Chain A
């Protein structure tokens, strides 16, 4: 945790979930994914490029997402990632287990 600028570093394993969620609605390129994560978490979370791109390639290899080169609105070519069917299943499963995990952790923290 980096307290100095109020940003939280991602716990292990959550980056994959966030990437899947971010591209669930529409295909996105890498830079947009990192921007969106930061935006949607109100700047609390920051994705380091150093871990984003290896994660994207890892997910692609697993077949959860697939990549396609497309032209952006600014007429430049970018690599867009989208969910595959297996990726969508993974997203649901992981969202579910994340919810249960946080609920359980929250419960313990609240009662203590």
Chain B
């Protein structure tokens, strides 16, 4: 075996010397034969003639020896490669066109796949991520099955479960960092001690939180830093452990630094959050993650949790009535299901694009093959095997796809770098996407398949065509009918695939346009939004309220400012806390489930600033106080403003003004009077339905963090003014996330925009390729039919007859393709449903527009060859024959 291998290897690597030896060996034989014959009395000429006869064909013997040595497949492959290169060099136009065609498809598919791989295929960078789960509270009887945890319920689950190696809770956290340079808002999560052990992440510097640290009664102000945070704020200082941070005027000690990893871990800080015996059981605030113990299935963990839920519900019937727990896999932490769907759609789209590219190249090679039919026939007659000729064409296709993938990878690299440097929003894990081994492997396999696919038809073409027919001149002129049909079929497929892509792009673009046109409820023009995180000291003695009022006063006095307001959660981008709410006149025993409405604390000026119209009643004024009682004070008189849909829902056919509602129904409860109704808005983002919203007045114990200013002119011009006023009032209060409201809205639809643009680009390319395909096939078949056209014209066909004939010939495959494409699109577009906003997947208008576009392009592609045919001079045309 080994000697056999060595023998073959020698034959490959020392091919030249092996060939030489063969040559020498045969020459030696030949000369001996001559000598022998001469000894028997023949002349040298006669002897060498006979010797040559005896030897048979020298080349044939050599070929058989090579075959016997068993390396010929590799040698011939190398030879095919050389021939292929030579063939391509002879026809550089074709080579360049085909390479560009394929490289565009390759680049598109490589970019999409690299994003796909980073977001969907690459596992989360956590140890044994399949054991990681996310936990939720449920209240099945109220139809709630994914609620955040209350603090107390989390501590109970942590103490009583038998299924998890670790469970940990986290809560988003924002603080003003002061002390080092200008005040700055930092964000992070407060986490329980086991958080990083749950994820399976260990600090690269310092230590993890200790279990003792989150026990009750201790007030441990310790913090772990995300890697990027550490590098940017501390310059990657290795001595950072033990240093202190001032967060909201409290001193925290840095105990650890995390490794670089997921972006949502990288840029944050993690203060420790410890057990409290008086933890709240009513407010759903905490996200909880867990690591299943080895060998514990999700189902048995669920059963375990159910046991705990039962016990908790029994002990706390008021707060925990109907409590249950649910857990879900961590597989969606990297990308949401919509993102996944979108990436699959994009991957499908690039596959179509590549297929179209393949067909175009196949078409080019077929056309070239037709032109070379005579040459090929001669080669066959001279003894070249058909298999060898087919291999040769295939090798050309593979070479083209090889060039295509090389250029395509280059383009993809550049495109990825550009996308990453622009930090295009809406692409999950974009920063992590790279041309890694996976991606390059994918590209290589794709290139191989592309080459095989585009070479298949052209390679078989030489195989099936008749030699004799090819050698006859007249047949060469016309080309075989079967080939014409094959090329027309390829055009049909190209048009059909383009139709699919165009419909996909059309639907996404229309959907995006719909999204942009949707009634937000609020106004976006000329509005600046920014955040100010109120430090703990602002919540004492009305300091924060005073600050806000002075700030409103100063900002309102700025020329050009029309209205200023504040809200607890930024529309579109911010969180959406909610409550059960219902009319207080609802009969007590009624089984009706109270509506769930989002609540927002607002300043009186908010509605005007954000542009929400007042429909009934009045908005808040300075006499309306927060709905929460201040410490030691009696319950306030509660007044709320509600959104129109909510008013219609709980007070059908009634005037809601002056009516009373119960806030946080089913939880803490509290009666309030409705004083006004405002317009609905898409608080939770444009793709969500307008929310049911309850607006609560701000005050000493109800501060807000988000601010809105409506001005004349460009919103961003106000940003420096805002900063200077704030630093005037409190230099330690950072202004963060300053954006025009338009930008906020636009960022929120970035994924949709990205999908629409990308699919638009792909379908544009597809259209271009299909057009060149139609044009190529038609102009080629017209040039082959020149003499026939000349004859027709000589017999009296008018120019318009000829044009009609040409165009109808070219349009036939295009029309068929449009029909097939429409059917395919109708079947495939269902997969787009969840990505579409306010558009049905079978949107007649989109289909009609795509069909019209394809028809027009196909017609244009037909007209050029048609006009050429029309101008054929019969005398010249007939002379060709």
Q: Which residues of A contact B61 (CB under 8 A)?
A: 49-50, 53-54
Choice from A30, A50, A62, A79 contacting B60 with Cβ under 8 Å: A50
Mark contacts of B1-31 with chain A using CB atoms, 8 A cut-off: 1 yes-contact digit, 0 otherwise.
0011001100000000000010011101100
Q: Which residues of A contact B4 (CB under 8 A)?
A: 61-63
Q: Indicate whether A57 reaches chain B with its CB closer than 8 angstroms.
A: yes
On whether the beta carbons of A79 and B24 are closer than 8 Å, the reply is: yes
Choice from B7, B8, B28, B68 contacting A55 with Cβ under 8 Å: B68
Q: Which residues of B contact A55 (CB under 8 A)?
A: 68
Within 8 A of B (CB), among A49-102: 49-51, 53-58, 60-63, 69, 76-79
- Contacts A63-B4, A76-B28; is A53 near B33 (CB within 8 Å)? no
Q: Indicate whether B86 reaches chain A with its CB closer than 8 angstroms.
A: no
Q: Which residues of A contact B36 (CB under 8 A)?
A: 35
On whether the beta carbons of B21 and A79 are closer than 8 Å, the reply is: yes
On whether the beta carbons of A79 and B68 are closer than 8 Å, the reply is: no
Choice from B28, B33, B64, B67 contacting A78 with Cβ under 8 Å: B28
On whether the beta carbons of B3 and A49 are closer than 8 Å, the reply is: no
Complex CA–CA separation, A107 to B65 (angstroms): 38
List the A residue with the shortest CB-CB distance to B63: A54
- Contacts A31-B28, A54-B65, A79-B21; is A61 near B56 (CB within 8 Å)? no
Most chain A C-beta atoms within 10 Å of own C-beta, residue among B4, B32, B60, B64: B32
On whether the beta carbons of B69 and A49 are closer than 8 Å, the reply is: no
Q: Which residues of B contact A34 (CB under 8 A)?
A: 29
Mark contacts of B37-68 with chain A using CB atoms, 8 A cut-off: 1 yes-contact digit, 0 otherwise.
00000000000000000111100110011011
On whether the beta carbons of A50 and B69 are closer than 8 Å, the reply is: no
Complex CA–CA separation, A37 to B32 (angstroms): 16
Shortest distance from the beta carbon of B11 to any chain A beta carbon, whole Å: 9
List the B residue with the shortest CB-CB distance to A33: B29
Q: Which residues of A contact B25 (CB under 8 A)?
A: 29-30, 53, 78-79
List the B residue with the shortest CB-CB distance to A63: B3
Complex CA–CA separation, A34 to B25 (angstroms): 14
Q: Which residues of B contact A29 (CB under 8 A)?
A: 25, 28-29
On whether the beta carbons of B33 and A31 are closer than 8 Å, the reply is: yes
Q: Which residues of A contact B60 (CB under 8 A)?
A: 50
Q: Which residues of A contact B64 (CB under 8 A)?
A: 50-51, 53-54
Q: Which residues of A contact B65 (CB under 8 A)?
A: 53-54, 56-57
Shortest distance from the beta carbon of B128 to any chain A beta carbon, whole Å: 52
- Contacts A48-B56, A49-B55; is A60 near B32 (CB within 8 Å)? no
Complex CA–CA separation, A79 to B23 (angstroms): 11
Give how many B residues have a beta carbon under 8 Å from the other chain's beta carbons: 25
Q: Indicate whether B310 reaches chain A with its CB closer than 8 angstroms.
A: no
Q: Which residues of B contact A77 (CB under 8 A)?
A: 24, 28
Q: Indicate whether B263 reaches chain A with its CB closer than 8 angstroms.
A: no
Shortest distance from the beta carbon of B31 to any chain A beta carbon, whole Å: 8
Q: Which residues of A contact B68 (CB under 8 A)?
A: 54-55, 57-58, 61
Q: Which residues of B contact A69 (CB under 8 A)?
A: 21
On whether the beta carbons of B26 and A53 are closer than 8 Å, the reply is: yes
- Contacts A54-B64, A78-B28; is A49 near B56 (CB within 8 Å)? yes
Within 8 A of B (CB), among A15-30: 29-30
List the A residue with the shortest CB-CB distance to B28: A78
Complex CA–CA separation, A84 to B640 (angstroms): 103
Q: Indicate whether B70 reaches chain A with its CB closer than 8 angstroms.
A: yes
Q: Which residues of A contact B33 (CB under 8 A)?
A: 31
On whether the beta carbons of B70 and A61 are closer than 8 Å, the reply is: yes
List the A residue with the shortest CB-CB distance to B1: A63
- Contacts A49-B55, A49-B61, A63-B3; is A30 near B69 (CB within 8 Å)? no
List the A residue with the shortest CB-CB distance to B55: A49
On whether the beta carbons of B26 and A57 are closer than 8 Å, the reply is: no
On whether the beta carbons of A57 and B69 are closer than 8 Å, the reply is: yes
List the A residue with the shortest CB-CB distance to B66: A57
Complex CA–CA separation, A55 to B64 (angstroms): 9
Complex CA–CA separation, A56 to B68 (angstroms): 8
Q: Which residues of A contact B3 (CB under 8 A)?
A: 63
Q: Which residues of B contact A48 (CB under 8 A)?
A: 54, 56
On whether the beta carbons of A50 and B55 are closer than 8 Å, the reply is: yes
Complex CA–CA separation, A87 to B69 (angstroms): 17
Q: Which residues of A contact B56 (CB under 8 A)?
A: 48-50
Most chain A C-beta atoms within 10 Å of own C-beta, residue among B21, B24, B29, B69: B29
Shortest distance from the beta carbon of B556 to any chain A beta carbon, whole Å: 96
Shortest distance from the beta carbon of A12 to any chain B beta carbon, whole Å: 15
Shortest distance from the beta carbon of B5 to any chain A beta carbon, whole Å: 11
Q: Which residues of B contact A31 (CB under 8 A)?
A: 28-29, 32-33
Shortest distance from the beta carbon of A33 to any chain B beta carbon, whole Å: 10
List the B residue with the shortest CB-CB distance to A62: B4
- Contacts A48-B56, A49-B55, A50-B56; is A79 near B28 (CB within 8 Å)? yes
Q: Which residues of B contact A78 (CB under 8 A)?
A: 25, 28
Most chain B C-beta atoms within 10 Å of own C-beta, residue among A60, A61, A62: A61
Choice from B7, B24, B26, B55 contacting A61 with Cβ under 8 Å: B7
On whether the beta carbons of A49 and B54 are closer than 8 Å, the reply is: yes
Complex CA–CA separation, A31 to B64 (angstroms): 17
Mark contacts of B440-463 with chain A using CB atoms, 8 A cut-off: 1 yes-contact digit, 0 otherwise.
000000000000000000000000
Q: Which residues of B contact A57 (CB under 8 A)?
A: 65, 68-69
Q: Which residues of A contact B57 (CB under 8 A)?
A: 50
Shortest distance from the beta carbon of A65 to any chain B beta carbon, whole Å: 12
Complex CA–CA separation, A61 to B72 (angstroms): 13
Choice from A30, A60, A62, A63 contacting B29 with Cβ under 8 Å: A30
Complex CA–CA separation, A61 to B71 (angstroms): 10
List the B residue with the shortest CB-CB distance to A59: B68
Complex CA–CA separation, A29 to B24 (angstroms): 12
Q: Which residues of A contact B28 (CB under 8 A)?
A: 29-31, 76-79
Complex CA–CA separation, A25 to B68 (angstroms): 25
Complex CA–CA separation, A100 to B430 (angstroms): 76
Q: Which residues of B contact A76 (CB under 8 A)?
A: 28
Q: Which residues of B contact A54 (CB under 8 A)?
A: 61, 64-65, 67-68
Most chain A C-beta atoms within 10 Å of own C-beta, residue among B8, B25, B28: B25
On whether the beta carbons of A61 and B69 are closer than 8 Å, the reply is: yes
Q: Which residues of A contact B55 (CB under 8 A)?
A: 49-50
Shortest distance from the beta carbon of A75 to any chain B beta carbon, whole Å: 13
Shortest distance from the beta carbon of B343 to any chain A beta carbon, whole Å: 52
Q: Which residues of A contact B24 (CB under 8 A)?
A: 77, 79
Complex CA–CA separation, A62 to B3 (angstroms): 9
Complex CA–CA separation, A94 to B55 (angstroms): 28
Shortest distance from the beta carbon of B654 to any chain A beta carbon, whole Å: 99
Complex CA–CA separation, A50 to B70 (angstroms): 17
A-B contact pairs, 24 of them (CB 8 A): A29-B25, A29-B28, A30-B28, A31-B28, A35-B36, A48-B56, A49-B29, A49-B54, A49-B55, A49-B56, A50-B56, A51-B64, A53-B25, A53-B26, A53-B29, A54-B61, A54-B67, A54-B68, A55-B68, A57-B65, A61-B70, A63-B3, A63-B7, A78-B25
Interface, chain A (partner B; CB < 8 A): 29-31, 34-35, 48-51, 53-58, 60-63, 69, 76-79
- 3 cross-chain pairs, A with B, having the tightest CB-CB distances, nearest first: A54-B64, A57-B68, A58-B68
Q: A30-B29, A31-B33, A57-B65 are in contact. List 7 more A-B contacts (CB 8 A).
A: A35-B36, A49-B55, A49-B56, A50-B57, A53-B61, A54-B68, A69-B21
